[in-house]
Structure 1
Amino acid sequence: MAGMGTFNLSSSSCFRPSSLSFSPRPSVFPMKGFPGMPLRSRFPRIFAFTSNDIKVGSNIEVDGAPWRVIEFLHVKPGKGAAFVRTKMRNYVTGNTVEKTFRAGGTINEANIVKETKQYTYKDGSQFVFMDLTSYEEIRLNESDVGDKTKWLKEGMDCNLLFWNGKVIDFDLPITVKLTIVDVDPGLRGDTAQGGSKPATLDTGAVVNVPLFVNVGDDILVDTRTGQYMSRA
């Protein structure tokens, strides 16, 4: 099963409400109020489900913070109660922890809302995203964007994730079209053998491309892996 794996957890990692501590980044921006603004920031909802519902990609709330499940494994030992092992990433701090839940135990599902916004421009150290319907602007700091800036291009639609009226993360398109601005033309070699060379893209990212690719070519890149896919 995808996302399932085995990893060691100490007995001290069993679920206890006080077992984790959080330090939310100060750069997470609260939403501004606008007429007709969606009710996501006014009436946050919490949904209860059980640990048996956990799967890769589940959004859960633990100790008042939102987490995304990135691995899980249902375990039924020969003796003792069944449990669920998980590896989770904190949306706010970016920390990853391993945690165990009792099978069938109630867990709060984080009410994370996904909305499409367009990246419009960079203003100093902030990245500005706009809702093309309401023209609402949302600004993220460089620390919020992180390595994703390598693939971020003006006019690109991204999915911003909201929790309690704050942006906690955003998703890039899986495939982006970027232009090669610098590559060594002297690296030719035998293209039939699948050789590659580093190329600099218009966003500043560097990827390995086939030997036949040249400056000015548009290429498709997988933002999840940072790998060249094909010429556009």
Structure 2
Amino acid sequence: MFAKGAVWCLRPQARPQVAQRRRGALVIRAATCTSNDFKNGLSIEVDGNPFKITEFLHVKPGKGAAFVRSKLKSYLTGNTVERTFRAGETVTLADIERKDVQFTYVDGDTHVFMDMATFEEVRIPSGSWAKWLKEGSEVTCVFWQGKSLSVDVPLTLELKVERTDPGVKGNTAQGGSKPATLETGAQINVPLFIEEGELIKVNTENNEYLGRVKEDK
């Protein structure tokens, strides 16, 4: 967690790409923003690589210059790093494009999707997100500079428990937990009273059980 007393910045003001002619050549300048304009979910480039801002704080210390402390998730590796920027520092926006796709099948180490707008095939190297997918899952494919990078799955999903130890009679919502394998192959911890075949809601960001889902009869 970041320190208390810091100011959250909520003003997204990005500069669009600008085309300029220089000695007969058309030069495209990348879109930029400043660190004062950060917001969660904004895609930026750091050291030439694309990242998504997941947390940020605009800090004004008693002494010294103001700065922005941030947490960035790499689109390339999925890892999260911490980075500090000077207040007002110019940052290049990442050329990120998102497309709605539907998961169709696995081909070795590659997941194959169908672009829901063009019906074209989209192939993406399998990543940590793969454990949340089942045939027909509709997700968002992330592209950077025209190249498919990864998949954004919904923050919460409703999935059935495929395997887990039998519940113990008398267990309630309070108490311990046990491992469970979901229908997509993802493994999470669930309360002791959860049984195989039950539909539950899970948080895909932190692999947490959120609760039972009442199924329509």
1:22-171 equivalent positions in 2, closer than 5 A: 46-142=30-126, 145-146=127-128, 148-171=129-152
- Once the two structures are TM-superposed, the CA of residue 155 in structure 1 deviates from its matched residue by 0.5
Q: Distance in 1 between the 2:195 and 2:62 partners?
A: 60
**For residues 124-173 of structure 1, what are the alpha-carbon distances to aligned partners after superposition, in whole Å with 9 as ceiling and x for unaligned?**
2211111123111111223xx12x22211111111111110012222112
Query: In structure 1, what residue type is equivalent to 2:168?
Result: R
Flag the structure with higher helix content.
1
**For residues 109-129 of structure 1, what are the alpha-carbon distances to aligned partners after superposition, in whole Å with 9 as ceiling and x for unaligned?**
112122111111112221111
Q: Distance in 2 between the 1:209 and 1:78 partners?
A: 46
- Once the two structures are TM-superposed, the CA of residue 203 in structure 1 deviates from its matched residue by 2.0
Instruction: Determine which of 151, 166, 170 is the counterpart of 1:190.
Output: 170
Q: Distance in 1 between the 2:69 and 2:162 partners?
A: 46
Partner of 1:10: none
Q: Is the 8 A contact 2:124 2:149 kept in 1?
A: no
Q: Distance in 1 between the 2:56 and 2:69 partners?
A: 5
Flag the structure with higher strand content.
2
Structure 2: 5+ residue runs without aligned partners? 4-27
Q: State the aligned residue count.
A: 188
Q: 1:47 to 1:214 in 2, by over 3 A?
A: same
Q: Is the 8 A contact 1:5 1:71 kept in 2?
A: no
Secondary structure of the corresponding residue to residue 191 of structure 1? coil
TM-score normalized by the length of structure 1: 0.70
Aligned sequence identity (%): 49
